[in-house]
Amino acid sequence: MRPVALATITALAGAVVVPAAATAPAEEAAAAPATEAEGPIVQMFGWPWDSLAEECRSSLGPDSYTAIQVSPPTEHVQLADQSYPWYEDYQPVSYDLRSRRGDAESFANMVSACNAAGVKVYVDAVLNHMSGSGSQGSGPGSGGTEYSKYDYPGTYVDSDFHDCRENIADYTDQWEVRNCELVGLADLRTGSSKVRDTQLAYLNRLIDMGVSGFRLDGAKHMPPEDIAALVDGLHETTSGNEPYVYQEVIADSTTGGTEYTGNGDVTTFTYTDRVSNAFATGSVADLRNLPEETNLDSEQAVVFVANHDTERDSPPLSYRDGAAYDLANAFTLAFPYGTPRILSGFEFGADTDAGPPSDGRGFTRPADCADDGAWVCTHRHPSVAGMIGFNRAVRGTGLTDWWDDGNSVIAFGRGDAGFVVFNSGGAQGQDSGETTRQFRSSLPAGTYCNVLTGRFDNGECGGETVEVNSDGTFTATVEPNSGVALHRAAVLGG
C-alpha cells in the first residue's frame, strides 16, 4: 500500500528509536488452514456499496465472477484540503462501517446481494496501522468520530501502538519494518492480545454479515505469528467454510513471502513486474518459465497485472494501455499459476493521488460504467469477461502444447480443456504484424467460440469462431494486441 503521497517509501528517512523492551510477538499460533480461492478475484477499487450490489446482480454474477475484493469499509480520515485522495481509505480512525462508500446498512445489503448472485466478498482489511500525522492529525473521520494520532476513542489508546514512533528508514532491518511507522502511520502493537481482540471483533462482525475472506493490507509490516493468531480466531463463514485470507507482501531480501503462507495466500509482485513488462514491451516468449522465477508455489500465490498502487507508480502497464493491458489480464486468467486478480477501478489524470468521483463532501458518487471518463470497468471488457469462463473451464489442468515465435507471439494449451494464442506485437506502438499459422492443440474437434472476441451465451457466439480439426490443429490469423481463446465449454452445437 502507499497511504500518503509525501514521498516514496524507499526515500523516507528518519532516526529509529529502538525501545528497551519491545512487546513480544504472539506465540506461534496453529492457525487453521485457510480455504483456497475458488476462482478469479476482481478488485473493485473505490466502488460504493450500492453500486456494487447492482453490479453483482447485473454483471459480475451473470459473467460468473467468483469473488470481489472491496475497498476498506472502516471509518477513515477525511482530507478535504487534499481533495479527498484515494489513500484516505487506508488510514482508519475506527472500525465503524462508515466510509465514503456507505454505511453499515448499505454494506450489509451489498454483501447480501453479491452472495445471492454467486459472488463472494473479500474485504481489504487495514490492521497494521491507523491514521498518520503527515496529512491531518485529528478528526472528524468519515463517520464523524473525533480522534488524534495514537488516540482513537473507543478503539485504541497510546499504549496500543509500538514505541518506535519514527518512519521506517532501513528496509533490510526486519524489526524496524515490523515495529516502526510506514510513512508516519500509527503502527499498532499487533503482538498485544488487546489489539488483536479488537481487530477480531471487527473481522468477525464482517464474517457474520456474510463476508467470505480478507486481503490483509501491509501484512509485511506485521509479524507472521501475529497474523496467525488473528486467523486462528476467525469465525467460519456463513456458508460454513474457513475464510479465504490473502496477504500483501512485497518481497525483498529481508522478507521473501513464504514466511506468511501458513496464514493464507500471498501476493507476488514478481509476477506483476514480469508480466506487465513483457506485455508492455511485446516480449512474451520467456513467460513460459514464469513459475520458476517467482518465490511462491502456485497454490500460495495471488497474481495480478496491476493493483491500485502499481497503476499509480510509473507502471509499465495500466488501464491506459488499452488492448495491451487487457491482453495481459487475459494471459493471467489463462496461465496455470496462482489465483488471478483483476483490477477494476476509476480513471485519474496527472494527479495520481486523486480519489474516486465524489460529491462536495468527499463521498463517492455512484459508479456507472457508461460514464465515460470516470470508471474503468475492466471487468466488463469483453476480452477480460470472456476469460472468466475459460478460467473456470480449465481449472485443475496444467500447461501443455507450448509454442512461441521467440518474441511476441505465444500459444499454449490447458490439456484438452482449452487453448490460447496471444500476439503482443502491438505493444507500445510497435506493429510486428499479424500472425497466420496452424496451431496444434489437444482440443477435440469442433467449432469453438473465440471468447476473447465475444461472449458465448446459450450456445451462441458473439464473436469470431474457430474450426478445430480432428487432430487438434486449427489455422488462425492473430492481429497485434489480440488473441484466440478456445475452451470446451464454448463449443457451438456441443
So which residues are the catalytic ones?
Answer: 217, 248
DSSP-assigned letters across all residues of 89-122: GGSBS-SSS-BTTB-HHHHHHHHHHHHHTT-EEE
Q: Are strands 435-440 and 446-449 parallel, antiparallel or unpaired?
A: unpaired
Torsion of CA 187, 191, 197, 200, to 10 degrees: 70
The set of cell numbers assigned to 234 is 476467525
Question: Diameter of the chain by CA atoms?
Answer: 74
CA torsion sign, 194 to 195 to 199 to 202? positive
Half-sphere exposure of 79 (CA within 13 A, CB side): 27
- If DSSP codes are grouped into helix, strand and coil, which group holds residue 428? helix
Element (H, E) at 383: helix 382-394
- Strands 435-440 and 265-267, sheet pairing: unpaired
Residue 139: partners with Cβ closer than 8 Å, 6 or more residues away: 93, 145, 146, 147, 148
Cα separation, 266 vs 259, in Å, equals 10
Rounded to the nearest 5 degrees, what angle is found at the Cα of 116, between the Cα atoms of 215 and 246?
10
Q: Are 196 and 26 in contact (CB under 8 A)?
A: yes
H or E stretch at 404? strand 400-404
Please give the grid coordinates belonging to residue 203: 473481522
d(CA 265, CA 258): 9
d(CA 147, CA 434): 60
42/68 Cα distance (integer angstroms)? 5
Q: Give exposure, 135-163, as e/b (b: 16+ Cβ within 10 Å).
A: bbeebebbbebebebbbbeebbeeebbbb
- Residue 436's alpha-carbon distances to 143, 453, 484, in angstroms, are 58, 17, 12
* % helix, strand, coil for the chain, step of 5: 30, 20, 50
Q: Enumerate residues 6+ apart whose C-beta is below 8 A from 20.
A: none
